[in-house]
Structure 1
């Protein structure tokens, strides 16, 4: 399915158009959120300031990555900075900075300092979620034990039932699940450890197979800076954090 996000500036009939893959990754992007989520709104409005209209194609993330890499669409949004993408994609300036932490039950004391402290701790994570090279190496070597499933809400149910001990997750995503998918009495049982195990930045990626994208990247970065300078960027992020993009 395709949506066209709203923008903060009027667009002329002669506007340029860019096609971007998008997906489900609440609270940052979702077809079920206003504007397609805060990331979608930021990208749309940054481009709109430079006379470019964004058309979003919502699809599974892997499919969007493949279509972008092959040049079937221009790119995608919400990607971390990974070397494996740099050969095929241009990376935008930072759209958002986030921290990944461990969620756990308040009734189950949990503390950690190094990955050695995590040995024997049963973790639950979503298939395909990336938590950085150090975590990936520890998981593959067996230093940490991670149960991977497809459903994020189910992970939190498993945590409540003590079938797992911690959930590694970006702070905002964890609390979005707790506030919108769990009963309030369930959410009150859960907290997160203050020490991040990974800090990351999120970006738009544009395929190098499409010649115009080098210029599009430059225009987007300029528009993003203008959006930040105007104060609208901070406004959009604040709205998202207080649940302002949830469709009642």
Structure 2
């Protein structure tokens, strides 16, 4: 009887251990950064992008936990493989060597913001912009053409540590142009600047490039491709059942920003 009881007890422990491991294995850890209104620890659901990521994985039976870092560190953390994925990034050849890209989370135009008093109406190539001081944000993704033009001395690039600093640089006339995505740019302006300051700024309607944000899965992890397939399946389901469009409407209405 004692032997039988011990066997039953051992089997029960193994069963509990199995389910505990399975439940733990369903928790995904993702490294990310602040980029309102798409992502922010201070927003509902962490912002639109994190809401979409969480719901896509939830549809497939997974939970998500986010850890926020400055963008440059976010990228380094993502490479190590300690996290299941890193959110969220534009495409680049460098990253493609290290990560598997999810299907797009969203699309947005990246433009040149400037003061309304700055004479900047038309441009064809980056070579036309040599006379301007152009602000960019450390750790962000920009086109290879921008870096090549800077390397050749055709562009005057000014690197700052945040988008907020870059907008202040514009207002103080320490830069002439600032490269920023439209939705994220105006969201930040509404949050951080006065209406008077906002009314002094505009952007050139011609996009520098159109961006798509992706969830990246580090190739050093053996489960990366499996999780990529899981996420893409969940994302497709969100779009098919109309929830993705609903979340995007909430984004435009300002729903994610806490009062």
What TM-score comes out, normalization by structure 1 length? 0.89
**Count of residue pairs brought into register by the alignment:** 237
* Matching residue of 2:70: 60
Which of the residues 25, 33, 40 maps onto 1:30? 40
Partner of 1:44: 54
Gaps of at least 5 residues in structure 2 are 1-21
Which residues in structure 2 correspond to 1:1-248 (within 5 Å)? 16-111=26-121, 112-248=123-259
Tell whether the 8 Å contact from 1:67 to 1:73 is kept in structure 2 after alignment: yes
TM-score between both structures, scaled by the size of structure 2:
0.86
Greater Cα radius of gyration, structure 1 or 2: 2
List structure 1 segments (4+ residues) > 4 angstroms apart after TM superposition. Answer: 12-15
Shift of 1:14: 7.9
Gaps of 5+ in 1: 1-11
Larger relative helix fraction: 2
| Change in 2 beyond 3 A, CA 1:178/1:136 | same
* Cα shift at 1:208: 2.0
Range with greater deviation from structure 2 (225-234 or 120-129): 120-129
RMSD over equivalenced CA pairs, Å: 1.8
Report the Cα offset of residue 130 of structure 1: 2.2
Task: Give the distance between the partners of 1:13 and 1:75, measured in 2 at CA.
Answer: 18
Q: Distance in 2 between matches of 1:57 and 1:173?
A: 20
